[in-house]
Amino acid sequence: MNTTMMWTLIFGAFFACVQEDDLSGPLPVGSWVHSERIPQGFTLEKVSDIPSNTYGYRFLPNGKMINRTQSGWCATPPIVTQDYEGSWQLDGDILTWESPFWGGTEIQEWKITPNAQNQLQVEVIRRDFVYTI
């Protein structure tokens, strides 16, 4: 077997074993990006993937999440984002999530209401930051 074919088989086997996250399930499972600001909150739009350097959330069916937010304290454009792994839970229409961020931990509680096929209206009930820097 020649070297090229061997490397092709190795890389092919590796990429065949890479597991994609299953994002099917009840709300809020899926990837969401900020759509627009509304009184007392904002709307989220469901997307297949969160574009790079875009704020968003990826809620996985196992209660884990990815919070894509700015990577550091400076909010002067251009903004660079980073993915932070956190957790979420849903109690009726109240979504509570917790995630690290560049300065500590962020905890938010939202009231979520579907307002279109691929949109959620979010009313922020509570937003706390626990700083560790």
Q: Is the peptide bond before 39 cis (omega within 30 degrees of 0)?
A: no
Residue 74, burial from CB neighbour count under 10 angstroms (0-12, 13-18, 19+): exposed
- What is the reported pLDDT for 11? 43
What pLDDT score was predicted for residue 98?
98
Write down the pLDDT at residue 15: 38
User: How far is the C-alpha of 119 from the C-alpha of 31, rounded, in Å?
Assistant: 11
Neighbours of 90 (CB within 10 A): 17
Domains and CATH numbers, the chain: 22-131 (2.40.128)
pLDDT of residue 75: 84
pLDDT of the residue at 27: 87
pLDDT at position 9, please?
A: 44
In DSSP notation, 33-92 reads EEEEEETTEEEEEEESSPPTT--EEEE-TTSEEEEEEESSS--PSSP-EEEEEEEEEEET
pLDDT per position in the chain (133 positions), as tens? 555 444 444 444 443 343 445 455 688 999 999 999 999 899 999 999 999 999 999 999 999 999 999 999 988 888 899 999 999 999 999 999 999 999 999 999 999 999 888 999 999 999 999 999 8
Can you give the pTM of this predicted structure? 0.80
Q: What is the pLDDT of residue 34?
A: 95
